[in-house]
Amino acid sequence: MEEQNNNQNLENQQQANNQVPVAPPKNKSGLMFILILVIALLAVVTWLYIDQRQTTDEIETALTAEKDSLQSHLLQLRTEYDELMTDNDSLNSHLNEEKAKIDDLLAEIKTVKATNYAKIKSLQNELGTLREVAKSYVRQIDSLNTMNQALVAENIMVKNEINEVTKTKVELEEKNKDLSGKVELASTLRTENIEAIPINKRGKANNKINKIEKIKVSFRIKENVLAEAGERDVFIRIAGPDDYILAKSEDDLFEYQGQEIVYSAKRPIDYENKNVDVTVFWDNNGALIPGTYEVYIFADGDEIGNAQFLIEEGGLF
């Protein structure tokens, strides 16, 4: 009996061990509140995420547009600097330096992320500085252009004045040339009382070819206060009927109108702007032939007189 009771207790204990304890039931309204709270929190977090994401996208889009605008303004400013180039080498050097800065910024902006607001802001500040510098160069160039226009106007006026002066100078030179020519003509020596006479041994006039010892040429150089005073040579050229010039030597030359020509005889004189009588002789060297001879007188490179004489065939007297 006792053993049966023990077995019964043991069986009851095993059954008790095999049973799972059941939690006491909770309040259903509390569970619903927790569930609603979790759902609300998820909704708020989701809304905040979406809103933040939308704001981030808007900011990134705005920064991208700002970056593109900055690049566009830099390119435009680069073009403006190209248009500012002038003929002033010093100013062009400074403009090229500013253009190099713009090129560096354009290269740098390509590597900047659109979200890098601080860098884009810094580049915008540099763009503003470059614009101010460009404005200062525009003012300088405008000032230079104004000065250049004034200089061009002044140069035109000066050129006109120079043309007037040149015209006046040419007119004066022509007048002076004409006056000089008149003075030169007036200062040329003049002759009068010219005689060319063949003479015999006794110094008597004789035009028979076999009696002629010399040709005597005599004349007076007239008074001329405009002529240069002093010593000079007077040359005589005697041309025969055959136009052959009677000369002692082919080396007896003098200059006339830029050429060296032969003379028959010469005579040094001292001219003091007063009348001076001159006589020149040519010694007969046997070259005479019958006919009419021309005598030409030269002084100071000018022909100052001429005459003629006749030589006849030989005879007793």
| CATH code, residues 191-311 | 2.60.40.10
Burial 271-282 (b: 16+ CB within 10 A, else e): beeeebebebbb
* pLDDT per position as a tens digit, 18-50: 554 544 455 678 888 888 888 888 888 888 877
Instruction: Check residue 137 and give its pLDDT.
Output: 73
Helices vs strands, H then E, count in the chain: 4, 10
Statement: residue 243 has pLDDT above 50: yes
Element (H, E) at 65: helix 28-83
pLDDT of residue 20: 47
Counted residue by residue, the chain has a size of 317
Domain ranges of the chain: 29-187, 191-311
Q: Which amino acid is at 269?
A: I
CA angle in degrees (0–180, nearest 5) for 182-184-189 = 115
> Which of 30-34, 64-68, 86-90 tops mean pLDDT?
30-34
Entry pTM: 0.45
pLDDT in tens, 186-220: 668 899 999 999 999 999 999 999 999 999 999 99
Tell me the C-alpha distance between 13 and 99, whole Å: 99
Query: What are the pLDDT digits (tens) for 280-302?
Result: 999 998 889 999 999 999 999 99
